[in-house]
Amino acid sequence: MKALFAQTPRVDRSAFTIPVLAAAVLFTWYESEQLTKAPPGDGKVHVKYWEKWTAFEFDAMKHVVDEFNKSQDKIVVDILSVSGIENKTLMAVSGGVPPDVVGLYGPNVTQYADDHAVIPLDDMCKEAGIKRDDYIEAYWDISVIRGHIYGLPSTPATTALHYNRGIMKELGLDPNKPPATLKEMDHVADLMTKREKDGHVIRTGFMPGEPGWWNWAWGPFFGGKLWDGKDKITINSPENIEAYEWVQSYSKKLGANALSSFQAGFNNMFSSPQNPFMTGQNGMEIQGVWMYNFITKFNPELDWAAAPFPAAKPGMEEPTVIDLDVLCIPTGAKHPKEAFEFLKYVESQKGLEMLCLGQKKITPLKKVSAGFIENHPNPFIKLFIKLAYSKNAVSTPKIGIWAQYLDEINNACSEITLMSKTPKKALDDVKDRMQPMMDKYLERLKVRGEL
């Protein structure tokens, strides 16, 4: 769900006073040492595992943990759901009291590697026979930073266009023929849009800012790149400008204030019956494989379907966002060997299918059992698996300043949507602010001998 795409703010340790840092470390120690404290005298190695999930997602991993614990008699994994896991993990590593395993967000692995907060797993993976060839490459590659493996896939995701078949039927459109191009989708969105006599928007066909988790991806969907893979920020390339001109076209059609007012009513409404896609107030939406879970929970009668997101231009068919939850071993973990034994169990076909089926997501492995497909409740699971192989699948840049870059892109997207800046001006400004930061970031890596 949304947490999969959450972003990690960089922890500036210089900003902490000694008392504040001490208090943070003490709190982290309490969570790590007390809430997952091993029962005395059982003779087993207790592996402390922090995970960010809650509710059914946590329960799915808890089931995997329980099965691992029953599978052998030497190791016990103690799993704990930890909010704000990104910062607490960094604090725990800084304080010398990290867990043995941590479930992190794929887009942030580079930062943790840069901060030396997680250990490379190359040798352990080689010894265990865990290799790239077994995985869908896009997922494996997310945690490979400068040639070293810093995390292993847990639950992956792709995104697709979710659309309301009922509204399609209402308009006399074939619900079995979703739009294949962005031009077609824009036309359907116009037909779906409803206003009151005073111009107040009461239904949209599509909103580029809903849910707003992938504002950074619009440029790549048009063939743009966020950096050149070496040292240049390229957010203001012609392809990216074209993408955000398309984003701004919705503000021009609907009215910036009308669109902003309409969308403001759905803030923090994703996991609720008031989600605009659930209520029929938004006819089409880009969403991940997990959306099925929330439709089933909040509006099981909704007549919906999923399809590849429409192509912005020829050659850009089946664009999708690739993202991933990952399992890492923090630097300073007391039991890295035993922690990796647990990771080996999770990374098996049995372990990953147990976890991913429990969360109703796809698996990161190339090999998929017939039972996984047959028992999966999402009627579009084959689509989401297929999209993971798309040549137009995009993921976030592997740079340690991604959190700052994302903030800049989101701010620019707001300016573009509110029409306070042209797309070119907004993206030029992002480039001007981010390039110096990129230069300093790369220089820091060079000084440390990591480039």
pLDDT of res. 15 = 37
Residue 229 has pLDDT above 50, yes or no: yes
Amino acid at 449: G
Q: What is the pLDDT averaged over residues 1-14?
A: 43
Tell me if 191 sits within 8 A of 205, measured CB to CB: yes
Amino acid at 65: V
pLDDT over 70, % of the chain: 91
pLDDT, one tens digit per residue, over 322-378 is 999 999 999 999 999 999 999 999 999 999 999 999 999 999 999 999 999 999 999
pLDDT of res. 261 = 87
Q: What is the pLDDT averaged over residues 239-251?
A: 98
| pLDDT band at residue 145 under the 50/70/90 scheme | very high
Q: How many CB atoms lie within 10 A of CB 363?
A: 27
Could you give the CA distance from residue 242 to residue 253 in angstroms, rounded to a whole number?
17
Residue recorded with tokens 């021009």: 252
pLDDT of res. 24 = 52
Q: Which domains does the chain have, with CATH numbers?
A: 2-157+325-389 (3.40.190.10), 159-321+399-441 (3.40.190.10)
| pLDDT band at residue 17 under the 50/70/90 scheme | very low
Q: CB-based contacts of 108: which residues, under 8 Å, 6+ apart?
A: 7, 8, 86, 402, 403
Q: What is the pLDDT averaged over residues 17-24?
A: 44
Residue 311: what are its φ and ψ, rounded to 5°?
-75, 130
User: Taking all residues of the chain, what is their mean pLDDT, rounded to a whole number?
Assistant: 92
Q: What is the pLDDT averaged over residues 184-189?
A: 98
Q: What is the pLDDT averaged over residues 216-238?
A: 98
